[in-house]
């Protein structure tokens, strides 16, 4: 079967402002690349269209024409909430051009909502719930829809939701993602500025699922059960990226890379005994990163560790990230930096229960940590998150799917005066952090290490100046 897998651009920036998100950080669509590899392994003809990739067309109309020109028997879209409307526009255009071609949607938005989407969007033939590899292959192989677990479809106008598909228990059975069919990889894809020393960079996912349950996190696709690749598989995957594509830095985007201590120890042993000349970034959980683990990561080539902090308010922490304390976060950051690693804090502004005081505490806490980098997301409620059903009771919510991308405020906590005020507080904090003497001194001291980031900035200076203006105070 001829299959085209599509990563829609969606609305991944702020309305009315120049979209520079992909310039700042362009990630390969790993989920689609994994499905593509699985289908290719079974003998199917597969192509990828990354609508956020280097040189991508700007409009859904133009991208739909590219897809239709490939004359796919099946087009598969992997969608987030903000990407869903754009994908629907393309699906409708494809069906008009190729009425016999089938269209399947999967991804986190689909897995959270399910069957009702088929009622409201006639251009979609199938929904793939949860992991995509097994369900997509069964459909590509011509199996009857009624016999495919994880599939939602129509039968004479009735929406049929099949039982969930079994999760892949041994992730080592999966081939490496099909990076080779992704236009512009790896040179056209870029990691966040100042998060690397060497280029080109790439991304990896070595596990699925997360045993913890933060209030804002959607687990619709991989659920809570934690599964992972073996250390040997991870090492060979890294080696493949280095030898086949020349990759020299990898961001590992597991929800919690270091959850299984024994696995991480073995990965580090392999990287130390047989070094690949690469650096790595990953995430750790506060309170679960002891000195021995940090020393192993440093010796194995890790550069920066991210910590999900979210808030600096103790009461908000209990509500949204139970089991983590501010004291543990402070201690973890200090010990990361004491081992010669960089610490990046991940925060979220506008959570239910946030007030101007709690936001001020979060900003003060972020400054007190002397972080090497920081990311502040704009809280976005997602349909599969635990707090979704309660969101309208705690604030004002505009359910605009195109803007639900963590870069726009669509929800305003009840004790915050307005969305405009929330945006002002956000911009003040971002400017406060990146204009601080502490952060600028770190940047200056690492000028040589960051020369590739600085050169990239110079080459794209108009876009970065446009991004800077997005964070000016109203």
pLDDT in the model for residue 470: 65
Q: What is the C-alpha to C-alpha distance for residues 203 and 247, in angstroms, rounded to an integer?
A: 10
Domain map of the chain by residue range?
2-161, 191-470
pLDDT block averages, 10 residues each, the chain of length 474: 95 66 87 98 98 92 97 97 95 96 96 94 96 97 97 96 94 98 96 95 94 82 86 98 98 90 96 98 91 97 97 96 94 97 97 97 97 96 90 92 93 96 95 95 95 91 75 54
Distance between CA 116 and CA 111 in Å, rounded?
11
Q: Which CATH architecture has domain 2-161?
A: 3-Layer(aba) Sandwich (3.40)
pLDDT in tens, 284-323: 999 888 999 999 999 999 999 999 999 999 999 999 999 8
pLDDT (0 to 100) of residue 140: 98
Q: What's the pLDDT score for residue 209?
A: 86
pLDDT value, residue 218: 83
Cβ–Cβ < 8 Å for 76, 31: no
pLDDT attached to residue 23: 79
Dig out the tokens for 329 from the structure: 């976060």
Superfamily classification of domain 191-470: tm_1862 like domain (3.80.30.20)
Task: Supply the pLDDT for residue 39.
Answer: 98
From the list 345, 358, 346, 365, the residue with the least C-alpha distance to 425 is 358
Residue 22: per-residue pLDDT: 73
Q: What is the pLDDT of residue 256?
A: 81
Q: 357-388 pLDDT, tens per residue?
A: 999 999 999 999 999 999 999 999 999 898 99
**What was the pLDDT predicted at 58?**
87
Q: What pLDDT is stored for residue 259 in this prediction?
A: 86
Whole-number Å distance between alpha carbons of 333 and 336:
5
Q: What is the SS3 string spanning the chain?
A: CEEEEEECCCCCCCCCCCCCHHHHCECCCHHHHHHHHHHHHCCCEEEEEECCCCCCCCCHHHHHHHHHHCCCCEEEEECCCCCHHHHHHHHHHHHHHCCCCEEEEECHHHHHHCCHHHHHCCCCCEEECCCCHHHHHHHHCCCCHHHCCCEEEEECCEEEECCCCCCCCCHHHCCCCCHHHCCCCCCCCECCCCCCCCCCEEEECCEECCCCCCCCCCCCCCCCCCEECCHHHHHHHHHHHHHHHCCCEEEECCCCCCCCHHHHHHHHHHHHHCCCCCEEEEEECCCCCCHHHHHHHHHHCEEEEEEEEECCCHHHHHHHCCCCCHHHHHHHHHHHHHCCCEEEEEEEECCCCCCHHHHHHHHHHHHHCCCCEEEEEECCCCCCCCCHHHHHHCEEECCCHHHCCCCCCCEEECCCCCHHHHHHHHHHHHHHHHCCHHHHHHHHHCCCCCHHHHHHHHHCHHHHHHHHHHCCCC
Q: At what angle do helices 60-69 and 84-97 cross, to 10 degrees?
A: 50
Instruction: Look at residues 421, 415, 309 and name the one whose alpha carbon lies nearest to residue 357.
Output: 415
Q: Residue 118: what pLDDT?
A: 97
pTM of the predicted model as reported, rounded to 2 decimal places: 0.94
């Amino acid at each position: 079967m001829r299959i085209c897998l599509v990563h829609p651009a969606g609305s991944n920036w702020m309305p009315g402002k120049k979209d520079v998100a992909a310039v700042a950080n362009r990630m390969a669509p790993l989920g689609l690349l994994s499905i593509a590899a699985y289908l290719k392994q079974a003998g199917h003809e597969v192509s990828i269209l990354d609508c956020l990739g280097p040189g991508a067309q700007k409009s859904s109309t133009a991208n739909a024409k590219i897809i239709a020109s490939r004359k796919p028997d099946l087009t598969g879209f992997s969608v987030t909430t903000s990407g869903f409307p754009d994908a629907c526009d393309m699906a409708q255009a494809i069906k008009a051009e190729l009425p016999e071609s089938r269209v399947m949607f999967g991804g986190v938005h689909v897995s959270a909502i399910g069957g009702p989407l088929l009622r409201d969007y006639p251009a979609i033939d199938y929904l793939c719930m949860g992991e995509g590899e097994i369900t997509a292959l069964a459909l590509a192989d011509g199996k009857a829809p009624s016999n495919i677990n994880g599939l939602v479809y129509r039968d004479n106008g009735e929406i049929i939701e099949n039982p969930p598909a079994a999760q892949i228990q041994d992730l080592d059975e999966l081939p490496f993602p099909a990076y080779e069919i992704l236009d512009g990889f790896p040179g056209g894809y870029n990691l966040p500025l100042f998060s690397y020393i060497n280029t080109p960079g790439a991304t990896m996912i070595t596990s699925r699922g997360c045993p913890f349950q933060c209030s804002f996190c959607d687990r619709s696709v991989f659920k809570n059960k934690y599964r992972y690749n073996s250390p040997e598989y991870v090492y060979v995957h890294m080696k493949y990226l280095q030898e086949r594509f020349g990759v020299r830095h990898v961001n590992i985007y597991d929800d919690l890379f270091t959850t299984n201590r024994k696995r991480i120890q073995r990965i580090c042993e392999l990287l130390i005994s047989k070094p690949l000349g690469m650096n790595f970034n990953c995430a750790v959980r506060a309170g679960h990163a002891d000195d021995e683990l940090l020393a192993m990561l440093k010796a194995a080539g890790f550069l920066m560790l991210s910590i999900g902090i979210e808030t600096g308010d103790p009461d908000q922490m209990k509500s949204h990230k139970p089991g983590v304390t501010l004291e543990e976060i402070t201690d973890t950051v200090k010990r990361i930096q004491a081992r010669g690693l960089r610490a990046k804090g991940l925060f979220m502004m506008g959570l239910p229960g946030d007030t101007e005081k709690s936001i001020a505490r979060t900003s003060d806490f972020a400054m007190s940590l002397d972080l090497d980098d920081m990311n502040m997301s704009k809280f976005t409620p997602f349909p599969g998150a635990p707090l979704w059903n309660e969101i309208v009771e705690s604030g004002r919510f505009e359910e605009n799917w195109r803007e639900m991308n963590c870069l726009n405020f669509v929800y305003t906590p009840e004790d915050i005066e307005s969305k405009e005020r929330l945006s002002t507080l956000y911009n003040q904090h971002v400017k406060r952090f990146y204009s601080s003497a502490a952060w600028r001194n770190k940047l200056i001291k690492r000028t040589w290490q960051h020369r590739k980031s600085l050169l990239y900035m110079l080459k794209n200076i108009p876009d970065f100046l446009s991004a800077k203006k997005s964070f000016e105070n109203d």
